[in-house]
């Protein structure tokens, strides 16, 4: 099966915001990423708007021709945004408002009623739902039970262990993906995937629909250029 590459452009917005002007142009970068081969664009608008802003999301919606994936904690403000924008996919993360970055998946079983209500609202708006989870079969089955379409596997533990024990690092994700497929869920993955570890992950994990990559990809682009970087990441997914 084909595994799509969704480029997270948060770091582009971080760089823009450092000067308070419009360089680099977030909207143009999204257009360019698609032209260069990205099969999706991911953004994660946080409450403090330290990178992607609400108005960025509205501007990106008509420009993104592949898949717009919006990540975030489903606060009332976030849900108001995504129900107005209606992206192709919304990825629900359990981050606190002041979180520096995502650091764990949902405890879906403990939040089942809340997440079921959120997923229902997304489905009513025609939006595909994905729940950010650790590679844990119990939580994956719970995500299916609340009606999610996909799970996104939190891959930082894989990235941390990969340099010393690749097989051990990827084993929980192989089992998690198999559990998700058995439960009728699509499988996404993201966090600290890079040119160093992506190919092994892709070649090992079955049923992988999509990877969302931002920080490592933008860092690589500083040296390789954005187009060559996207080409190399897509090469890892063949």
Distance between CA atoms of 165 and 204, rounded to whole angstroms? 14
Q: Of 34, 67, 71, 210, which is the active-site residue?
A: 71
E strands in 55-195? 68-72, 89-92, 128-133, 150-154, 186-190
Residue 215: active-site member: no
Q: Of 34, 152, 191, 210, which is the active-site residue?
A: 191
Nearest partner of 145 among 131, 165, 163, 156, judged by Cα: 131
Q: Of 44, 51, 67, 152, which is the active-site residue?
A: 44
Q: Give the number of other Cβ atoms within 10 Å of residue 174's Cβ.
A: 16
The three-state secondary structure class of 65 is: coil
Distance between CA atoms of 76 and 200, rounded to whole angstroms? 39
Residue 191: active-site member: yes
Active site residues: 44, 71, 191
């Amino acid at each position: 099966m084909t595994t799509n590459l969704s480029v997270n452009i948060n770091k582009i917005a971080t760089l823009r915001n450092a000067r308070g002007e419009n360089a680099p142009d977030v909207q143009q970068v999204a257009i360019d990423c698609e032209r260069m081969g990205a099969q999706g664009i991911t953004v994660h608008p946080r409450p403090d708007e330290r990178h992607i802003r609400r108005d960025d999301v509205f501007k990106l919606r008509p420009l993104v021709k592949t898949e717009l994936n919006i990540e975030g904690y489903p606060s009332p403000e976030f849900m108001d945004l995504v129900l107005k924008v209606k992206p192709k996919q919304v990825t629900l993360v359990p981050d606190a408002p002041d979180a520096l970055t995502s650091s764990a998946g949902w405890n879906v079983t403990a939040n089942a009623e809340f997440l079921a209500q959120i997923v229902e609202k997304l489905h009513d708006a025609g939006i595909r739902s994905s729940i950010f989870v650790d590679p844990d079969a119990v939580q994956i089955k719970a995500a299916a039970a609340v009606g999610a379409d996909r799970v996104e596997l939190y891959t930082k533990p894989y990235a941390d262990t990969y340099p010393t024990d690749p097989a051990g690092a990827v084993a929980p994700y192989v089992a998690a993906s198999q559990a998700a497929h058995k439960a009728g869920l699509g499988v996404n993955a993201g966090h600290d995937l890079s040119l160093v570890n992506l190919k092994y992950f892709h070649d090992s994990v079955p049923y992988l629909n999509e990877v969302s990559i931002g920080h490592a990809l933008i860092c690589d682009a500083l040296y390789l250029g954005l187009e060559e970087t996207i080409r190399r990441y897509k090469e890892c997914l063949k």
